[in-house]
């Protein structure tokens, strides 16, 4: 019987499945497709360069054994890699890469030009003090060991570990980790930095929030030290910027970050970013910067599933040296679903209540605390949702609300939408204006002042505000 690519790969998978954990098999081998069998060479298609690098790094010996069993001692493996970040076309392209059948070579270390080695002014050092060492600003309590893996975060965690193992040497540069509040973006970002510092003591790692980065840039402009600011950041080996979405609307900061990013990327340095949304959903970020965010890998963190929530709770209790009945742990996991921060918050409250009041852990105590957490958790509202609710309330469509018409009832509806967007979201005024009819930040500011004034002086208008507040918060 003539062997086919499908049959050879099916037999390889059978052997591989018997030799690794089920979850690893599901994550790294089920997505692979056999493409072609040419003599002793099997070509398989993998979803991304990330997959190719991960397989070569972690499973090359297993793949080698599986192929030799099927095709003999001279078996060869070729990867058909889907390249999604090509610039010549919007559609994915493929490139064929032969397996190394050995440990991948270490990435070459890039030598900086001599002019880059002069003394720097460090934004983290008080002027006048001698620069000794750049502090990484990392929290060692955030590490991979206490980041619980589940289906909701497996890709992001795996990519983070890969980056920590070979900073600047993988295809995901930058690595952008995005997701909602309390899902572990900051934890993973710190964990990458902490792991790199452990493995590569010679590398300069820096974690910074986008707000602090912006403030440093503003200060450098005021003090006429902009070039020192840029030069300092160009010398970082691993730059971690948290909440990059807050660069929204800040043209000057975006421009300087664009040049810093380009320098780091071209010199093989690693950039790690976190955001509450994917690049495609970011407002008021320059397209040239967004395109660079898409160069590497964007990995989403989703809300943890029930099994992962159980594991997170058990891990938290174990670290705190606390024993809690299983039924209470299960009750918390079933009723607190939104994010990890709330899960741990409930446990902390349980421990505090039991300790201060000398009570045992009970299901009733768990119910009381969970009820308070769930009740006090504000529902996250998007600008799109606000526009839909306001439009429906005034019996118009969203297109009318966003239109240029100056009819009084439409203008008031538009102003109310802007008012609630400012109150109920973290978006900047510029971002709110952009999403509600392409207005500028001054229009949004005027709308908010108008709503405040009318609420105090117009009884009917105050009813609009009260009604909409109820609809948006319940």
> Going by CATH, does the domain composed of 306-376 fall within 3.30.1360.170?
no
Beta carbons within 10 angstroms of residue 81's beta carbon? 23
Per-residue pLDDT at 116: 33
User: Would strands 297-301 and 175-179 be described as parallel, antiparallel, or unpaired?
Assistant: parallel
C-beta of residue 141 within 8 angstroms of C-beta of residue 263: no
The pLDDT tens digits for 312-339 are 887 777 777 777 878 888 888 887 777 7
Per-residue pLDDT at 387: 94
Give the mean pLDDT of the chain.
Answer: 79
Max mean pLDDT range (94-103, 153-162, 341-350) = 153-162
Question: By CB neighbour count within 10 A (0-12 exposed, 13-18 middle, 19+ buried), where does 366 fall?
Answer: buried
Which is higher by pLDDT, 188 or 27?
188
C-beta of residue 208 within 8 angstroms of C-beta of residue 242: yes
In sequence order, which ranges of 336-402 are alpha helices (DSSP H)? 340-356, 363-376, 383-393, 398-402
**Token representation of residue 407:** 């009819």
C-beta of residue 388 within 8 angstroms of C-beta of residue 394: no
- Return the domain boundaries, the chain: 5-98, 135-301, 306-376, 383-473
Per-residue pLDDT at 119: 42
Max mean pLDDT range (262-276, 383-397, 426-440) = 383-397
What is the distance between the alpha carbons of residues 4 and 34, in angstroms, rounded to a whole number? 9
**Token representation of residue 263:** 């320098």
**Token representation of residue 163:** 């980056």
The pLDDT tens digits for 165-219 are 888 888 888 888 888 777 888 888 899 988 898 888 888 888 988 888 888 888 8
C-beta of residue 247 within 8 angstroms of C-beta of residue 257: yes
What is the distance between the alpha carbons of residues 178 and 301, in angstroms, rounded to a whole number? 6
Check whether 2 has a pLDDT greater than 80: no
* pLDDT confidence band for 447 (50 / 70 / 90): very high
Question: What CATH number was assigned to the domain covering residues 5-98?
Answer: 3.30.300.180
Check whether 349 has a pLDDT greater than 50: yes
- pTM to 2 decimal places: 0.53
Per-residue pLDDT at 359: 67
What is the distance between the alpha carbons of residues 445 and 422, in angstroms, rounded to a whole number? 9
Tell the CATH superfamily of the 383-473 domain.
DnaA protein, C-terminal DNA-binding domain (1.10.1750.10)
The pLDDT tens digits for 422-439 are 888 877 888 898 899 889
* pLDDT confidence band for 126 (50 / 70 / 90): very low
Question: What CATH number was assigned to the domain covering residues 135-301?
Answer: 3.40.50.300
């Amino acid at each position: 019987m003539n062997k086919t690519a499908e049959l050879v790969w099916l037999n390889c998978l059978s052997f591989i499945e018997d030799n690794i954990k089920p979850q690893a098999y599901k994550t790294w081998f089920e997505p692979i497709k056999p493409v072609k069998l040419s003599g002793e060479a099997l070509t398989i298609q993998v979803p991304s360069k990330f997959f190719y690098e991960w397989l070569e790094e972690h499973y090359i010996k297993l793949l080698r054994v599986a192929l030799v069993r099927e095709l003999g001692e001279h078996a060869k493996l070729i990867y058909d890699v889907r390249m999604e970040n090509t610039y010549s076309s919007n559609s994915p392209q493929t490139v064929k890469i032969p397996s190394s059948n050995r440990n991948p070579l270490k990435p070459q270390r890039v030598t900086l030009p001599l002019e880059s080695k002069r003394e720097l002014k460090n934004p983290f050092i008080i002027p006048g003090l001698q620069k000794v060492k750049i502090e990484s600003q990392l929290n060692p309590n955030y590490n991979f060991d206490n980041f619980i893996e589940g289906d909701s975060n497996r890709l992001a965690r795996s990519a983070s570990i890969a980056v920590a193992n070979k900073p600047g040497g993988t295809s995901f540069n930058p690595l952008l980790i995005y997701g909602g509040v309390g899902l572990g973006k900051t934890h993973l970002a710190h964990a990458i930095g902490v792991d790199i510092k452990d493995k590569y003591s010679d590398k300069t790692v820096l974690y910074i929030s986008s707000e602090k980065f912006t403030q440093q840039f503003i200060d450098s402009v005021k003090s006429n030290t902009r070039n020192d600011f840029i030069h300092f950041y160009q010398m970082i080996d691993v730059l971690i910027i948290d909440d990059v979405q807050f660069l929204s609307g800040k043209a000057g900061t975006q421009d300087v970050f664009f040049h810093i990013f380009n320098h780091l990327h071209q010199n093989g340095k690693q950039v790690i970013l976190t955001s509450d949304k994917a690049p495609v959903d970011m407002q008021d970020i320059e397209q040239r910067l967004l395109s660079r965010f898409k160069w590497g890998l964007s990995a989403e963190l989703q809300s943890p599933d029930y099994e992962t929530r159980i594991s997170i709770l058990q891990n938290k209790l174990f670290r705190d040296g606390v024993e809690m009945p299983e039924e209470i742990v299960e009750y918390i996991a079933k009723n607190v679903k939104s994010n990890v921060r709330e899960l741990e918050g409930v446990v902390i409250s349980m421990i505090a209540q039991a300790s201060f009041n000398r009570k045992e852990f009970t299901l009733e105590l768990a119910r009381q605390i969970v009820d308070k957490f769930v009740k006090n958790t504000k529902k996250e509202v998007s600008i799109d949702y606000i526009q839909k609710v306001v439009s429906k309330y005034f019996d118009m469509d969203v297109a009318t609300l966003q239109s240029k018409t100056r009819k009084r009832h439409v203008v008031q509806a538009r102003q109310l939408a802007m008012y609630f967007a400012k109150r109920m979201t973290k978006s900047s005024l510029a971002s709110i204006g952009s999403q509600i009819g392409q207005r500028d930040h001054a229009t949004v500011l005027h709308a908010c002042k108008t709503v405040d004034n009318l609420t105090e002086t117009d009884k009917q208008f105050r009813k609009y505000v009260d009604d909409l507040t109820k609809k948006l918060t319940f």
